[in-house]
């Protein structure tokens, strides 16, 4: 068993769709990003790669590469799992926290878990997604950014 940790953040700007955990969430603001800016999936990708000491999201999917422009992060997550599989690893469970001031994410959490379950090939019961606000503190607390933290356990397959 190996543990991995990941973090991501994105500025929130008008005119972009908010996608978290592979789920579209109606909102006036969305992440400024080269891909779809799914901060939760980006944190999970870094956690998965980190557990296997295989680098990070920027190394495997560089923002300078046009093939990744506006790409769904679900595709990047799928590719990450193939990278892990080729290295002889598979995920066992994941825990995560999203920090966003609004909207309230509770109604979307279970959809995120089932979407991530399909993408990661593990049961939704092994995927935890939690949401918090930052109590008004800093840019995230003022609603200008979204952050996500994730830890995963992987095992040699």
Chain positions contacting Mg ion, by CB under 5 A = 8, 42
Tell me how far apart the alpha carbons of residues 15 and 114 are, in angstroms, rounded to a whole number.
27
Which is closer to Mg ion, CB of 15 or CB of 107? 15
Nearer to Mg ion, 58 or 121 (CB): 58
Query: Least CB distance from residue 50 to Mg ion, whole Å?
Result: 14
**Closest residue to Mg ion in the complex (CB):** 42
Cα 146 from chain centroid (whole Å): 11
Q: Which residues of 115-141 are buried (b: 16+ CB within 10 A; e: fewer)?
A: bbbebbebebebbbbebeebeeeeebe
Contact, 96 vs 43, CB < 8 A? yes
CB of 105 to Mg ion, least distance (A): 17
Comparing CB distances to Mg ion, the nearer of 1 and 67 is 67
Q: Smallest distance from the beta carbon of 39 to Mg ion, in angstroms?
A: 6
Q: How far is the CB of 24 from Mg ion (least distance, A)?
A: 17
């Amino acid at each position: 068993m190996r543990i991995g940790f990941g973090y991501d953040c994105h500025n929130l700007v008008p005119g972009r769709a908010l996608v978290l955990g592979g789920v579209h969430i109606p909102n006036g603001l969305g992440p400024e990003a080269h891909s779809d800016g799914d901060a939760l999936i980006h944190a999970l990708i870094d956690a998965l790669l980190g557990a296997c000491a295989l680098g990070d999201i920027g190394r495997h999917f560089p923002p300078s590469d046009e093939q990744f422009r506006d790409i769904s992060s679900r595709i990047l997550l799928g590719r990450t799992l193939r990278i892990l599989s080729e290295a002889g690893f598979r995920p066992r469970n994941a825990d995560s926290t999203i920090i966003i001031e609004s909207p309230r994410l509770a109604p979307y959490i279970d959809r995120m878990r089932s979407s991530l379950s399909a993408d990661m090939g593990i049961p939704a019961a092994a995927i935890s997604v939690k949401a918090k606000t930052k109590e008004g503190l800093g840019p995230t607390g003022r609603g200008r950014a979204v952050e996500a933290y994730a830890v995963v356990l992987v095992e040699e397959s």
